[in-house]
Amino acid sequence: MAKEEQIGFHKGSLTTLLKEKMELERLLQIVNTLAQAHMKALKDLGIDLEKEAKKNKRSLDEKVA
């Protein structure tokens, strides 16, 4: 493959990967926003999320042990 073709291939690949990275970041932002909304709703309903997290961690630790 000629040097110019290699350069074009790598530039195109890099452009595609950067666009994919931007899309992934956008999706993560959406997921984080939704997770925050659900956590707020649970907190408003009186659920202690820290207590729930500790309980779940203990449950997982017992299953692993």
Residue 61 scores a pLDDT above 90: no
Residue type at 42?
L
Q: Rounded to the nearest 10 degrees, how much is the dihedral formed by the CA atoms of 10, 16, 21, 26?
A: 160
Q: Read off the pLDDT of residues 8-33 as tens digits, 9 standing for 90 and up.
A: 999 999 999 999 999 999 999 999 99
Q: Which residue has the higher pLDDT, 23 or 1?
A: 23
